[in-house]
Structure 1
Amino acid sequence: MRASGVIRGYYGGQIRHGLSVFPRDQWLFLDFSALLTETNKTLDQVSSHIGVGRFKPYPPLRQLMAGSPEITGTAPTGEDLMALARALEPELAGYVALTGLSVDHWTTERLLTGDLDPDEQAHTYARKAGLVE
């Protein structure tokens, strides 16, 4: 089964569904970037939340989800990115409302606010995917 990158954008709906299944006190919402920039502090938050002892020693970070070298298809355009961003805008609002986390640094939010040029971002994605030089 091939995973869709688009379905990942429906965070508001995913959180809403999760909260309908498990009580809010069982949830700990974290920004992924905190795991990368404040790893030990974030792991301490997780340990405290689930009621277990802190790591001794802390585990090293490993990159396990590298991109596929076999990406094929048409390079995205800035217009494609903006259409997707506009479609996901309500999801971002729902995510922020439910988690209290900021999305100001997320690509989708930066596209919507005009802080990121959609054509430049589309080219960046295409270059990373090996679709353009």
Structure 2
Amino acid sequence: MMQRSGEISHRLTRARTLGQWRAGAIARRDLCDADFILVTASRFHGNPAGYPCPVCEGKDLRIVYWVYGDELGKASSTARSMEEIEAFVAEGKTFRVHTVEVCPSCRWNHLLSEVTVTNGGASDGG
């Protein structure tokens, strides 16, 4: 069972940033700056967000999970599916998961949240 702790939400920062962009205080080029790796990860590892991009209003907005932690070895700092994340947890690993919103069309991206995940420890009592 996956246990979550230490969650940090960045949704208020997202709202403030988008408000500043709409007010003309931030240029779109500074807002839509996802690099090649992030855009590629969104296409191959991302899940549909279920809502339009807040910048271009396109329907291809994706949610990508990035994992970080020493216990992951070479898998650290990579995009992973929820199934892969659950497998790492089942192996007893503790690590951080960053949830990132990415639009492959206009390159908007924003870190939505970060959380530590670990195995909740319920044994099967076998």
- Structure holding more strand per residue: 2
- Structure holding more helix per residue: 1
Scaled by the length of structure 2, the TM-score of the pair is 0.22
Scaled by the length of structure 1, the TM-score of the pair is 0.22
Larger CA Rg, structure 1 vs 2 = 1
